[in-house]
Chain A
């Protein structure tokens, strides 16, 4: 079997021994925690954006990876979070921390409300409805221009670090993003390995059969949808705090496609793949903008098509293919051998 065929197959997750996982995770976390202190603001900005996309991607992965449904409309929830953050800290003058739980809850409920009927649709239909939502989001934002100031956009001047910490704002928002990435990862991991995760797999693989086994598919799927929109909303808040400016056109089709590219490139359904996806989505436009303004769109598009042909399971399948033989040689602790 040549390498192309292998890449087109779903690779099983790396069965890395626990000490490696902890070790690598700790090293990465330490690096991430320390690096903003020594990096220039624009680097912190880029990495913050990666983390913001990562949060969205984790949510979308829950949805697409476990229910097989694609949503192109999460940009609307992202926009909701961003604008709520802008309005509460701006016009209303509230503390910036309030936006997080507020948006999380609002997005969750709105997502549940939308998701309940939406998930009864079949794959293509849901994609169409959510695409329509993505196309219309900027004009919805402009419609409410009394709050959103329409095309003009809203400026933020918030998320200042507490004075006793002695950090710059770009560093502080970076840490906020890091905090929520960790929360998101923990949530995702708990879900994936718990009872809900197993229900989700059952639903994805064969919904009618899962139903006969007592899995309340509709409820579980809607909860997952709601959770994914909550992730998107919170990511939107982070976005507003990092960029300090929101405007309607940033939340339309381009954003929706960035989200999809994220999870496709990373690997649908893979948590770690999403990290690669987020890196791709942030850094590729940066790199390609040297070449040409439209190069970002071109690279997204080519990536989407190429990945579907060569790496339908995302970069993570490539990584797994490469690392699996290596990982197999690592010494295991006795606790792992029982896995």
Chain B
């Protein structure tokens, strides 16, 4: 029982990370209709960025905030320069571009900072926190808290602000939105910026655990994809719920399913992706798309 509780707690902590990355994927998917394969690498680069600012003397929280702001701008720039010009191309083209961006950012990070792992400072020193019999590190608790905060902020943004309404309108029907003088292009760019900033935040918080190096997200990426797909690529709530489910099932499977050691846990993510795409492509919370002849 104690083991189960611990696994659940770990699962929730990891799930928050996956959910946040999945949230970024969903924001971009809603805006541009593509999966940004480079999302993980963008987040990784931002984590390096915040580390670098910290090395230069900024307090950690400031460093992370600055990195988030830069990530926001970078996200908007990438949308503006590399995605929007080819907005009318096939999905194939845009997928390949995001793969290319993924490679460039990864290589860029390796070129600037090298392949060696760096120590990333934790935000909150102190002993791990106990929840009944389970133990969770403060850093993990911070991640969960940050993700919850992000979720709430996004909720307020989308449901109660004019900008959020305009983003949702632009995503729902871009021509109608433009006819109402809503600056659709700016709304799309904002979505990419938000996605990048969220990635920067969680990457910086997860860096102590995942160890800061260019290959930081290579193992985690697939879980984020699984979370986004499970939740339904069009649903932010789905991303978070999907993250939790993936995080928990990954941990439980690793512990309780025979034959699934630590290495093979990734296969769970693959299984989830396949199951969702074959059985219910719109995921748990997504909306079905119609194919027009």
Question: Measuring CB to CB, which residues of chain A are less than 8 angstroms from any residue of chain B?
Answer: 64, 68, 70, 117, 120-125, 127-129, 131-133, 135-136, 139-140, 142-143, 208, 253, 257, 260, 264, 268, 292-298, 300-305, 308-309, 312
Is B35 interfacial (CB-CB < 8 Å)?
yes
> How many contacts between A and B, using CB within 8 angstroms?
132
Q: Identify the interface centre among B35, B100, B221, B293: most chain A CB within 10 Å of its CB.
A: B100
Contact B86 A139 (CB under 8 A): no
Q: How large is the interface on B (under 10, 10 to 19, 20 to 34, 35 or more residues)?
A: 35 or more
B278 with A117: CB separation less than 8 A: yes
Closest to B229 in A: A128
List which B97-136 residues lie within 8 A (CB) of chain A. Answer: 97, 99-108, 110-111, 115
Given A123-B92, A124-B91, A298-B103, residue A136 in contact with residue B110 (CB < 8 A): no
Q: Is the interface of A mostly helix, strand, loop or mixed?
A: helix
Q: Cβ of A300 and Cβ of B103 under 8 Å apart?
A: yes
When A131-B37, A297-B110 are in contact, do A308 and B86 touch as well, CB less than 8 Å?
Answer: yes
Q: 13 more A-B contacts (CB under 8 A) besides A142-B263, A309-B85?
A: A123-B90, A125-B281, A128-B225, A131-B37, A131-B225, A136-B266, A136-B269, A140-B264, A300-B103, A301-B99, A301-B107, A305-B82, A305-B100
The answer on a CB contact under 8 Å between B273 and A132 is yes
- Greatest chain B CB density within 10 A among A208, A297, A302 is at A297
A-B contact pairs, 11 of them (CB 8 A): A70-B96, A117-B278, A127-B95, A132-B222, A143-B264, A294-B108, A297-B103, A297-B104, A301-B101, A301-B107, A303-B100
Would A308 and B110 be within 8 Å (CB), given that A127-B95, A253-B218 are in contact?
Answer: no
The interface residues of chain A lying within 8 Å CB-to-CB of B85 are 309
Contact B225 A132 (CB under 8 A): yes
Of the listed residues A127, A128, A131, A260, the one surrounded by the most CB atoms of chain B closer than 10 A to its CB is A128
Within 8 Å of chain A (Cβ to Cβ): is B270?
A: yes
B175 is an interface residue with CB less than 8 A from chain A: no
5 tightest A-B CB contacts, nearest first:
A301-B103, A304-B100, A301-B104, A298-B107, A297-B107
Distance (whole angstroms) from the CB of B132 to the closest CB of chain A: 33
Query: Which residue of the partner chain A has the closest CB to B111?
Result: A294
Query: What CA separation (Å) do A300 and B110 show in the bound complex?
Result: 14
Complex contacts, B274 vs chain A, CB 8 Å: 129, 132
Are A132 and B91 interface neighbours, CB within 8 A? no
Q: Is the CB of B222 within 8 A of A70?
A: no
Flag if A260 contacts B99 (CB, 8 Å). yes
A295 to B90, CA, bound (A): 29
